Amino acid sequence: MRWSQIQAQADVDSPAGDGDRILVLHVDDDPQHGDLVATYLEQIDENITVDTETDPQSGLERLQTESVDCVVSDFQMPEMNGIEFLKHVREEYPNLPFILFTGKGSEEIASEAINAGVTSYLQKSGTDTYELLANRVRNAVGHHRSKRLARVTEDRLFGLYEQADGFYVLDEEWTITYWNQRIAQRTGRSAEEVLGESYWEVFPEAIEQAFYNEYREVMATQEPSHFEEYFPPLETWFSVSAYPSEDGLSVYFRDVTERRRREQRLHDRIDQQRAVAEFGQRSLHLDDPDELFETAGRELHRWDDRVMELYEETGSVGATVDRAGEELLDIAPPYAPVMESFYARLVTLGYLKYHGIE
């Protein structure tokens, strides 16, 4: 990379926010030039404060005691040149903005500075240079702060992702790039097992379900999707929210199995209520016990499973009939009179039939 490329890259606009204080550590073995740099920078931008040291070792010590936002350093200094100073800074502060501000420049120095991790380079060439130096400082610090904020935000987001019921990320090739702990626990697949693998190869069963079409639609349209689907291998209902991202797809999910079971039980009870109410009405007009029991058998087959559960719990037909009658009254309060009539006639006729009284 040539000097012109370094300079152009450094002038990309990513300034620190208005009102943000910037502490600059300037290291130059020439005290007069150090004072000159401090005076110009602080006059050009009132948010910039400059601390000056005349040797790199003192500069390293200052970094340990001050929260410095940017280092500006001369190149030619007697005990340690600017690039050697830069290397020492990078050992402890790998991301701290560092500007090499010197009267001597060459392609060789540029290459060495880049390899050492310099942020920007600027040659001294008159008073106009200080305006450019102030701009380089603002840009370098603004970029550094933005990256640091992005890292903090990312860390917080991934902290939230780890607390989510389930979260994973797929790239454009359907490769799993993130897999949180909750989903690892639910699926029995650790992050080490699935990261870098194709989602469809890890879960081939999903291809035949809504997951496949919904995820492909999100990728194609770049619009989010929200749906619920049952996943047989885990015997679980999931509420899924899939969002497009720059790199592929982000997926959040919640286990809604219990809610779906409650809804199904409610639906079943509504069906039972309807069947029992209809049968209760018809039973009022049936006098033949055989016809009544035949009708009961047809109408109540929808809740045979519940009757069998009650029989297994009680261990007797009588107790089963009693419990069934109680539940019938519970599930349809609006039809209570019908239930009572139905229950009374069924039990009475059953009792008579049991004793051979037709």
Question: What's the pLDDT score for residue 290?
Answer: 60
- pLDDT of 333 reads 46
Give the confidence band of 335 by pLDDT, cuts at 50, 70, 90. very low
Query: 3-157, superfamily in CATH?
Result: Response regulator (3.40.50.2300)
Residue ranges per domain, the chain? 3-157, 165-255, 260-354
**Segment 209-221, tens digit of pLDDT:** 999 999 999 999 9
Measured over the CA atoms of residue 274, residue 278, residue 283 and residue 289, the dihedral's sign is negative
- pLDDT, residue 39, reads 93
Q: How many CA atoms lie within 13 A of 181 on its CB side?
A: 5
> With 80 as the cut, is the pLDDT of residue 21 above it?
yes
Q: What is the model's pLDDT at position 281?
A: 64
Residue 7: the pLDDT is 45
Query: Please, which pLDDT band fits residue 130 given cuts at 50, 70 and 90?
Result: very high
**Residues 49, 42 contacting (CB under 8 angstroms):** yes
Residues 6+ apart with CB under 8 A from 315: none
Q: Which residue has the higher pLDDT, 153 or 101?
A: 101
Q: Is-contact 258 165, C-beta < 8 A?
A: no
Q: For 15-29, 45-59, 95-109, 287-301, which range has the lowest pLDDT when averaged over its residues?
A: 287-301
* For residues 142-164, average pLDDT: 67
Domains 3-157 and 165-255 are alike in CATH topology:
no
What's the whole-number average pLDDT of the chain? 77
The CATH superfamily holding the domain 165-255 is PAS domain (3.30.450.20)
Instruction: Please enumerate in sequence order all residues whose Cβ is within 8 A of that of 13, keeping only pairs 6 or more positions apart, or say none.
Output: 139
pLDDT tens string 253-273: 888 888 888 888 777 777 666
Distance CA 186, CA 166 (A): 8
Q: What is the pLDDT of residues 197-210, one digit of tens each?
A: 999 999 999 999 99
Cα separation of the two ends of the chain: 107
Mean pLDDT of the region 65-91 = 92
| pLDDT of 55 | 92
pLDDT at 326 over 70: no
Which pLDDT belongs to residue 294? 59
What mean pLDDT do residues 225-250 have?
A: 88
Instruction: Please give the structure tokens belonging to residue 172.
Output: 């454009």
